[in-house]
A and B are shown apart, each in its own frame.
Chain A
Amino acid sequence: GPRRHQPTYVVFPGELRTSLTDTQLAEEYLYRYGYIKVAEFRNDNQSLSQALRTLQKRLSLPETGELDSTTLEAMRAPRCGVPDVGG
């Protein structure tokens, strides 16, 4: 019988987002919704983890401080643009 062909994935022009890594996506999200201020961000695991913990608490997610799949899924969900922290 026919064999499933291997899917070919292409990068569609004009679609930046898919090319972000998970960490880049997380940093952009944490910044956009007020969990970290640019000035405060020290690009180290500790401040990322702290910000993630704040987000997880705020969105009633399991508070792991990790960029786990639940948190990534929440970051990819469609949502309101008003920042969560800082008004």
Chain B
Amino acid sequence: FQTFEGDLRWHHRNITYWIQNYSEDLPRDVIDDAFARAFAVWSAVTPLTFTRVNGLEADIVIQFGVQEHGDGYPFDGKDGLLAHAFPPGRGIQGDAHFDDDELWTLGKGVVVPTRFGNAGGASCHFPFSFDGRSYSACTTDGRSDDLLWCSTTADFDSDRLFGFCPSERLYTEHGNADGEPCVFPFTFEGRSYSACTTDGRSDGYRWCATTASYDQDKLYGFCPTRVDSTVNGGNSAGEQCVFPFVFLGKEYSSCTREGRSDGRLWCATTSDFDRDKKWGFCPDQGYSLFLVAAHEFGHALGLDHTSVPEALMYPMYRYTEEPPLHEDDVKGIQHLYGGRPNPEPQPPTTTPATKPTAPPVVCTTGPPTVRPSERPTAGPTGPPSVSPTGPPSVSPTGPPTAGPSAAPTASLDPSEDVCNVYIFDAIAEIGNRLHLFKDGRYWQFSGGQRRRVQGPFLIRDTWPALPHKLDSAFEEPLTKKIFFFSGRQVWVYTGASVLGPRRLDKLGLAPEVAQVTGALPLGGGKALLFSRQNFWRFDVKTQKVDSRSPSPVDQMFPGVPLNMHDIFQYRDKAYFCQDRFYWRVNTRNEVNQVDEVGYVTFDILQCP
């Protein structure tokens, strides 16, 4: 590792940081969370704490800028130089700057949160297939109301999960119109506008009126950014692709690599590139703001570049899903600040110190009720603010007033409340407590007299080998082995040791078994494994299903629904879940009768 000349470091422990402005590439809460997690990388191995403040007095000022952005070290457009930071000290020292000509993501493509629809605000999944075609941006296809939508899974045709993409026709942000959508055309200073405009503003933000006449009503909002089709770099950064466009006399209705030797996708931002020569790069995987920020914050704490290619402080960008710190980084930062004084951190009993890594997700209320072809109801958003004609007193780039802090605080984040999750990925009784898994996190629930919920915890903190998304899990009461299933893979944890991932065919399941949707331990080292309408007898000792062909579920468990997404055992009863409901079967009396039907959250978790 290397430090800067003179071992520059901070001489206090509680470091403060200020997010001075935002990139439009990511939702604000995702940016806040990425920076908070990037700081947490370093606080986890040092005595340092990082507290977010609001103002220039912060030790570390975080800024997005392009080209020359005020410090004499200009950025260089898309790619190449991504960000830089200054070593610890006063003034600009310690600050971190990010090149906003880059596409900032979480490393795996644009993050487009959705609204309404039936996916509870989940982000778009690009590419997704719809009606046999592949889409890598939001689309109005399939709709008659011209609203932009996307699938939140790879395959809309089979999963039917969708949401509406940011669009000024759906809502506006900030301004003074309570998030009402734009009205087109509207008049402003006597002129008619049929699209968002930056006229009247010097900060380049696109806005619109939410009534037919801004001159008369003075009601306005800012147009949401469409990151899925906004170009980066080129000579029209921040503008939208225009499809179709003409290039060398040929018409293109999607991004293309034609004309380039580096294979990068681009599009024109007017209908005729041959005439107007306006263009930019189409969204690609982008750069993980979390990883680049963690690197820059290393500089801001006093670390220089290292020659260890696997280390976080190596100068080149490398996307990884692993924890980014290398032993070389830890040695370096502990050379400057020492190790973390407390014993190993315990799992939080109430809320985790770190924020969720994904935008808040509010799950659906039952089978999709809104089809792409139906109109959503609009919702209010955004605080009232100033008119676009005067300098904004609270500009859209102003930071939100509250943010994550180093000390665990009672979380206000609705997505952390187990009662807000309607559809769980998997539910399993482990160690006499119900474990509910969702999107990389899980809660522990103890029922009985005193209802007690703990979490959410990060799955990877407890079972590091597991993926983000689980299909099912079960604990074998005899051996205490815990089986986790996701897709065609299985993991078997015995205490902290893990076997897997292994393919399901290692258990004797045929290739066409796409996933294990549930399991019922039978005791004596036996269990039932479920997949869709079938189940197999499974021997935990040999870890094989018996060779007979599967049995249909409704043969053994009459009355339960067939398209279950989870089956688990809890307090000696079998639970068959479909959507947010369960059918409880008493397996004791061999008749396997359904003796109760209810809501998972209200009747099992006793949510209010």
Contact = CB atoms under 8 A, between A and B. Distances in A.
Same complex for A and B? Answer yes
B603 to A, nearest CB: 52
A84 interface: yes
Contact of B261 (A9, A17, A77, A81): A9
16 contacts: A8-B259, A12-B234, A12-B260, A18-B261, A59-B315, A60-B309, A78-B81, A78-B317, A79-B316, A80-B296, A80-B299, A81-B73, A81-B75, A81-B83, A82-B305, A84-B305
Nearest to A10: B259
B100 to A, nearest CB: 13
B514 interface: no
Contact of B279 (A12, A33, A78): A12
Given A12-B234, A14-B235, A60-B309, A82 B304 contact: yes
Interface string B568-584: 00000000000000000
Contact of A13 (B85, B87, B277): B277
Interface residues of B, number: 42
Contacts, number: 89
Contacts of B82: 78-81
B65 to A, nearest CB: 12
A42 B307 CA distance: 27
A78 B79 contact: yes
B145 interface: no
A57 B279 CA distance: 39
B287 interface: yes
Nearest to B79: A78
A72 B403 CA distance: 42
A15 interface: yes
B308 A60 contact: yes
B315 A82 contact: yes
Contacts of A9: 259-261
B83 A80 contact: yes
Contacts of B222: none
A58 interface: yes
B248 interface: yes
B499 to A, nearest CB: 35
Closest 6 CB pairs of A and B: A81-B84, A14-B235, A81-B81, A78-B317, A10-B259, A79-B316
B131 interface: no
Interface in A53-87: 57-60, 74, 77-82, 84, 87
Given A9-B260, A13-B277, A58 B73 contact: no
Interface string A1-44: 00000011110111101100000000000001100000000000
Given A33-B315, A80-B84, 17 more contacts: A7-B258, A7-B259, A9-B260, A12-B260, A14-B235, A17-B77, A59-B309, A60-B307, A79-B80, A79-B81, A79-B82, A79-B317, A81-B75, A81-B84, A82-B85, A82-B305, A84-B315
A6 to B, nearest CB: 12
A47 B83 CA distance: 29
Given A15-B234, A87-B5, A82 B307 contact: no
Interface of A: 7-10, 12-15, 17-18, 32-33, 57-60, 74, 77-82, 84, 87
A78 B80 contact: yes
A30 B309 CA distance: 19
A77 B316 contact: yes
A59 B316 contact: yes
A60 B309 CA distance: 7
Interface string B3-34: 01100000000000000000000000000000
Contacts of B75: 81
Nearest to B278: A13
Given A60-B307, A82-B299, A14 B81 contact: no
Contacts of A33: 315
B309 A74 contact: no
Contacts of B80: 17, 78-79
B435 interface: no
Contacts of B162: none
B182 to A, nearest CB: 30
B262 interface: yes
Interface in B516-561: none
A41 B287 CA distance: 34
Interface in B253-306: 258-262, 266, 277, 279, 287, 292, 295-296, 299, 304-305
A78 B315 contact: no
A18 B281 CA distance: 14
A17 B292 CA distance: 23
A9 B260 CA distance: 5
Given A7-B258, A9-B260, A58-B307, A78 B316 contact: yes
B287 A78 contact: yes
B315 A57 contact: no
B259 A82 contact: no
Nearest to A9: B261
A79 B304 contact: no
Contacts of B235: 12-14
A5 to B, nearest CB: 10
Interface string B48-82: 00000000000000000000000001011101111
Question: Quick one: which of A9, A17, A79, A84 has the most chain B CB within 10 A?
Answer: A79
Contact of A14 (B102, B234, B292, B309): B234
B279 A87 contact: no
A87 B5 CA distance: 7
Given A74-B316, A87-B5, A80 B308 contact: no
